[in-house]
Structure 1
Amino acid sequence: MPKVKTHSRAKKTFKVTGSGQIKRYNAFKSHLLTKKSNKRKRHLRGSTLVDSANLNLVKRMLALR
Structure 2
Amino acid sequence: MSKMNIAVVGGGNSGEYNISIQSSHRVADTLDRGKYNVFLIAIKGRNWEYIDETNKCFPVDLVILA
Q: TM-score range by the shorter chain?
A: under 0.3
> Which structure: greater strand fraction?
2
TM-score normalised according to structure 2 size: 0.26
Higher normalized contact order (CA 8 Å, seq sep 6+, divided by chain length): 1
**Which one has the largest radius of gyration?**
1
